[in-house]
Amino acid sequence: MAKVFNIALAGNPNAGKTTLFNYLTGARQHVGNYPGVTVEKKEGICQHGGMELRVTDLPGTYSLTAYSVEELVARNFLVNEKPDVVIDIVDASNLERNLYLTCQFMELGVPVIIALNMIDVARHRGIEVDAEKLSSLLGVPVVPLVARSGQGVDLLLDTVLRVVEEKKPYPPLRLSYGDDLDQVLDDMVPLIEQGGLLTDTYPASWTGLKILENDDQILDRAMKADSTLADTLVRRSDEVTSHLQRTVDTYPEAMIADHRYGFIKSILRQGVISQRFDVDRLYTSDRIDKIVTNRFLGPLIMGVILYGLYSFTFNYSALPVDWLASLFGFFGDAVSRVLPDGPIKSMLVSGVIGGVGGVLGFVPIIMFMFLGIAVLEDSGYLARVAFMMDRIFRMFGLHGSSVMPFIVSGGIAGGCAVPGVMATRTLRSPKERLATLLTVPFMNCGAKLPIIALLIGAFFSAHQAQYMFLATVVSWSVALLTAKFLRMTVLRGESTPFVMELPPYRFPTFKGLFIHTWERTWQYIKKAGTVILAISILLWAMMTYPGLPAGKSAQFERQRQEVMAAYAPQGVSAGQEKGRPGQVAESPELAAKLRVIDNREAQAALRNSLAGRMGIALEPISRFAGFDWRTNIALVGGFAAKEVIVSTLGTSYSLGSVDVEHTTSLGERLARDQHWNPIVALAALAFIMFYAPCFVTVVCIARESGSWKWAIFSMAFNTFLAYFLAVAIYQTGMALGLAS
């Protein structure tokens, strides 16, 4: 049989009693009424450490007077039922007022544990409470708590067990209530104790205090128990009351309250509370907010700031991006020159340096972007953006706090869905959070930018900026509409209010900015170094093996021999093959012809490779959207990482293009290719912007949503949506004859 203890939850209204009660007892609750009154009484059971705790949720009160039913119910319960422990739930963000009740529990001499609740809210307001100090000053255990998330509940229960096992006495707290009252109390207490007046229910000092406070219930009971003694006490009380009236124009009740507050203040002033920012700053912040979050000026300012972030990022990162590109180009050349031809060299150059280098090349952009965002975040501005956008987001079943994940994922330009998915942790409602993390991959992340820029540059070069802007608008529209769709179907549910406190504005610190920027940049670099490296090598292998059958290779070799023979009428022997460079240098025409054969061979090899076969196998489906097999290879590769799309497309199209000069760019090559036209480009853009998130994002979605179900849903849903859009664009465009 487990030991049974009775626990009461008490505290001010809205301190979180019911939240903690529900967390502790779950479904094992019973709701009734306190006898004779309409005040609700909730009871429940909670098991912890081999004990059974019977928990009662007391009505919320600010005091323990006899003026209200709730207060009477609460104090009667405490003195009649004598719970083993009273958990006093205290709102840490409003400590002074909440401790007023605590103080009275201690005067009543009940075993109290302070549950210092809402430390999250307090922290948000810049209030830090030193629980240990508070505990040692008050002499009762103090456990920090976030009842809403259950953080600290285990420690609280451990403390409950410790206190009930200890069976330490809790002598009533005797404060000083000023000379006059102290003297009277000193006289009263021995009289009450000797007369045994209500002493089996209340401590003598409490009865004395209540008589001074003119408490109806206590006076009543005292009269019934021992009217002579009660009369004597009341007379003393009346004397001091009129004395106080005459001298300081106040009543004992007010005097007592003042001294309780004085006691609390003196405790709080001893370093229990530290305010991280001062009230002045809050005031200044309010004034700034009048302008910055103004209904009309706000969005305008936001536009300017976001545009500033845009240009800051791209202007300042242009140079380092060039440096990095040259650096990796240099590496590639060096490796090409040093290593002999063969699979190792091909893997290092195309797979490792090409793949990882392409990704690392983005580091400066990412870094500047994150630095800009860190400034906005640390200064407190981003919270204002969330605040302003909340109304719009709410229409789509999202929340103001969804803005940040969208921006991080590339809502403005060049983010990444991985930190974006992680940023959804600030959302409290699970459904709003899921709707957000499932739609952030629709943003144009940094990895999609190169391919978007490439296609726009190749097919819509006259209106690049407009198309870029359009891509951003479309990505937001699709994300918001999808969120709305999800919130109306699989994620149906209430929307939660915007409770985020607007933190005061403050100047970001260098250290803070550095840490924020570096954390995120490092995350990105790690991804490039590990995942992308592996993917690049894998893709390189898939595009290289199994290679051409020996017979086919020999056929191409024979063609080369024939061409060379034609240019060297003296006759070419097998041994002279090594002289090819010199011969080629002599005749540009020969070089071109040889390159055509090389390309044909490479194309045949690609077709025969694993990736090539996959691309060809997908053609029956992809042709409705206008994609040929080489595009398919790139798109499949893009699932691994979107960065890979451009490089894969580059490889497959350079290998595939037979007659085109080597020096033309990929964009030009696509523009000239018969498989491509502006409509195909638009369809491809739609597909690339919206199909399955990259592999790393999918893993993150699984981790953050707590189940692979949502990760798989995201892949399937997005790919289907993207395919639908691409087919719609391609078919409509072709039907209208817009292809040329």
659-666 long-range contacts, CB within 8 A, separation 24+: 659/596, 662/595, 666/454
Please say which residue, 148 or 243, places its beta carbon nearer to Mg ion.
148
Position among 7, 10, 17, 366 found at the interface with ligand GDP (CB under 6 A): 17
Please say which residue, 144 or 351, places its beta carbon nearer to ligand GDP.
144
Q: Does 147 bind ligand GDP (CB under 6 A)?
A: yes
Cα separation, 500 vs 596, in Å, equals 64
Shortest distance, position 152 Cβ to ligand GDP, whole Å: 9
Q: Does 29 bind Mg ion (CB under 5 A)?
A: no
Q: Does 14 bind ligand GDP (CB under 6 A)?
A: yes
Position among 41, 54, 123, 148 found at the interface with ligand GDP (CB under 6 A): 148
Percentage helix, strand, coil for the chain under 3-state DSSP, each rounded to 5: 70, 5, 25
Position among 56, 98, 117, 622 found at the interface with ligand GDP (CB under 6 A): 117
Q: Does 15 bind ligand GDP (CB under 6 A)?
A: yes
Shortest distance, position 118 Cβ to ligand GDP, whole Å: 4
Q: Does 31 bind ligand GDP (CB under 6 A)?
A: no
Q: Does 26 bind ligand GDP (CB under 6 A)?
A: no
Q: Does 146 bind ligand GDP (CB under 6 A)?
A: yes
- DSSP-derived secondary structure for 355-414: IIHHHHTTHHHHHHHHHHHHHHHHHTHHHHHHHHHHHHHHHTT--GGGHHHHIIIIISSS
C-beta separation of 113 from 87 below 8 A: yes
Q: Kindly give the pairing relationship between strand 127-129 and strand 273-275.
A: antiparallel
Q: Does 86 bind ligand GDP (CB under 6 A)?
A: no
Please say which residue, 214 or 429, places its beta carbon nearer to ligand GDP.
429
78 DSSP assignment: I
Site for ligand GDP in 57-76 (CB under 6 A): 60
Within 10 angstroms of residue 389's Cβ, the number of other Cβ atoms is: 23
| Terminal C-alpha separation, the chain | 84
Shortest distance, position 100 Cβ to Mg ion, whole Å: 19
Q: Does 384 bind ligand GDP (CB under 6 A)?
A: no
Within 10 angstroms of residue 284's Cβ, the number of other Cβ atoms is: 13
Shortest distance, position 23 Cβ to ligand GDP, whole Å: 9
Q: Torsion angle, CA of 22/152/155/15, rounded to 10 degrees?
A: -60
Residue 14's binding partner among Mg ion, ligand GDP, none (Cβ under 5 to 8 angstroms by kind) is: ligand GDP
Q: Does 95 bind ligand GDP (CB under 6 A)?
A: no
Q: Does 18 bind Mg ion (CB under 5 A)?
A: yes
Within 10 angstroms of residue 347's Cβ, the number of other Cβ atoms is: 17
Residue 15's binding partner among ligand GDP, Mg ion, none (Cβ under 5 to 8 angstroms by kind) is: ligand GDP
- Nearest of 278, 300, 256 to residue 100 by alpha carbon: 256
Residue 13: asked if its preceding bond is cis (omega within 30°), the reply is no
The residue type of 127 is: I
Shortest distance, position 61 Cβ to Mg ion, whole Å: 11
Residue 13's binding partner among Mg ion, ligand GDP, none (Cβ under 5 to 8 angstroms by kind) is: ligand GDP
Position among 120, 128, 180, 187 found at the interface with ligand GDP (CB under 6 A): 120
Question: Crossing angle, helix 297-338 and helix 363-379, to 10 degrees?
Answer: 150
Tokens of 654: 């350079």
* Interface size with Mg ion, residues (CB under 5 A): 1
Position among 8, 73, 121, 491 found at the interface with ligand GDP (CB under 6 A): 121
Residue 364's binding partner among ligand GDP, Mg ion, none (Cβ under 5 to 8 angstroms by kind) is: none
Cα separation, 608 vs 90, in Å, equals 71
- Interacting residues with ligand GDP (CB under 6 A): 11, 13-19, 60, 117-118, 120-121, 146-148
Q: Which residues bind Mg ion (CB under 5 A)?
A: 18
